[in-house]
Amino acid sequence: MSEGAPGPLLGLGKTELEQWAVAQGQPAFRGRQLHDWLYSKGARSLAAVTVLPSAWRQQLAANLPPGQPDWVGRSRELHRSVAADGTTKLLLATADGLSLETVGIPARDRLTVCVSSQVGCPMACRFCATGKGGLQRSLAVHEIVDQVLSVQEVMDARPSHVVFMGMGEPLLNIDAVLSAMACLCTDLGMAQRQITLSTVGVPKTLPQLAQLALERLGRAQFTLAVSLHAPDQRLREELIPTAHAYPLEALLEDCREYVAITGRRVSFEYILLGGVNDQPRHAEALARLLRGFQSHVNLIAYNPIAEESFQRPSPAAVDGFRRILEDRHVAVSVRASRGLDADAACGQLRRRLGGSLAGDLELA
């Protein structure tokens, strides 16, 4: 194995792949061939890249870095769940035997991929299935990019949008998330405006995110979506236990600093829980909280999970909440619920099949 060999090749850009090929004693154009096969042809192994010399492929196969099962870095599909509306949830196996979820959400003129940034999540939001199992580890760049490629293969369509709204808290894996964004834009041809990063909030990280995005991506044009889910600190702490360390006022101040640095408005996500945070008084309090803020509110009807007694709000409650915000000049939309017959809530599929994963992995 040559000196300076990297980890999995997926996630590397064209220049990096050229440099790697040269370090391996090959001409630079071999790196460009690799780039084409990784990102355009979806190669899952170097053996599949038939334009490469067979002797080089055999040499590489015999000299894998310790603990690395292959050079490319693709995940293996463990399970697929398809809803009546076409929403497709994949359970993928990582090289070290863990599992993660990703979802393809089709619409008439778009395909959105919901990607995970961690295996599990440490934020412990009460309404979220992912948080029930805690955090196992953060995902590497190739494991994030692989989710987009996996959905593209399964659904035979080019993704138009990517949302970091799957398992995990992206701001606790900010380096890999930004690198994955760069790969999606530069190597898969997406625009930053087609990417959304969702966070429940980690103290002092939003201004850091803004600065790092400008340094690493050249500009910050992706959408930042901050999960509020409550119009006051008391209720927010009940729903999101980690919020006790991050007062709502401090979170909003960090959001304002993010807007000032990037010039981009913030989107606020608000999951409506029946009888808990979906009453008119909550809508009025939310409108007061966001008065004068350069923002947009995205209302989401709750998808129930077995571990909690929270209920889905009534259509009337959702519509009433929306109208109150609109009447108070708050930009608002209601996210259409998708995949309700296919373990729609984040983390549900992984938890439901968790008991069978060990056997599945042993069969690999």
**Which residues of the chain, if any, have pLDDT below 50?**
1-4, 342, 355-364
Cα(162)–Cα(195) distance, rounded to whole angstroms?
Answer: 5
Cα(142)–Cα(273) distance, rounded to whole angstroms?
Answer: 35
Is 101 an active-site residue?
Answer: yes
Burial 13-49 (b: 16+ CB within 10 A, else e): bbeebbbbbeebebeeebbebbbebbbeeebbebbeb
Phi, psi of 296 (to 5 degrees): -145, 140
> Is there a contact between 133 and 145 (Cβ–Cβ < 8 Å)?
no
Phi, psi of 113 (to 5 degrees): -110, 125
Please give the helix or strand (H or E) that residue 154 lies within, else none: helix 141-155
Catalytic residue among 114, 121, 255, 346: 346
The DSSP code sequence of 207-273 is: HHHHHHHHHHHSS--SEEEEE---SSHHHHHHH-GGGGGS-HHHHHHHHHHHHHHH--PEEEEEEE-
pLDDT the model gives residue 220: 94
Q: pTM of the full predicted structure?
A: 0.91
Cα(3)–Cα(48) distance, rounded to whole angstroms?
Answer: 24
CATH numbers and ranges of domains, the chain: 1-73 (1.10.150.530), 76-359 (3.20.20.70)
Cα(236)–Cα(248) distance, rounded to whole angstroms?
Answer: 8
Helix pair 315-327, 280-289: axis angle to 10 deg? 30
Tokens representing 357 are: 């994963």
Catalytic residue among 3, 16, 101, 269: 101
Q: What is the Cα 265 distance to its own chain's centre?
A: 20
Cα(332)–Cα(168) distance, rounded to whole angstroms?
Answer: 25
Cα(31)–Cα(52) distance, rounded to whole angstroms?
Answer: 10
Cα(192)–Cα(80) distance, rounded to whole angstroms?
Answer: 28
Residue 291 class from Cβ within 10 Å (0-12 exposed, 13-18 middle, 19+ buried)? exposed
Strand partners of residue 190: none
Nearest to 117 by CA among 101, 104, 96, 97: 101
> Is there a contact between 270 and 228 (Cβ–Cβ < 8 Å)?
yes
Which regions of the chain does DSSP assign to beta strands (E)?
76-82, 88-93, 99-107, 110-114, 118-120, 135-138, 161-164, 195-199, 223-227, 266-272, 295-301, 332-334
Amino acid residing at 345:
A
pLDDT the model gives residue 260: 95
Nearest to 166 by CA among 345, 297, 300: 345
> Is there a contact between 1 and 59 (Cβ–Cβ < 8 Å)?
no
Cα(24)–Cα(236) distance, rounded to whole angstroms?
Answer: 53
Q: What is the Cα 236 distance to its own chain's centre?
A: 23
pLDDT the model gives residue 6: 66
Residue 82 class from Cβ within 10 Å (0-12 exposed, 13-18 middle, 19+ buried)? middle
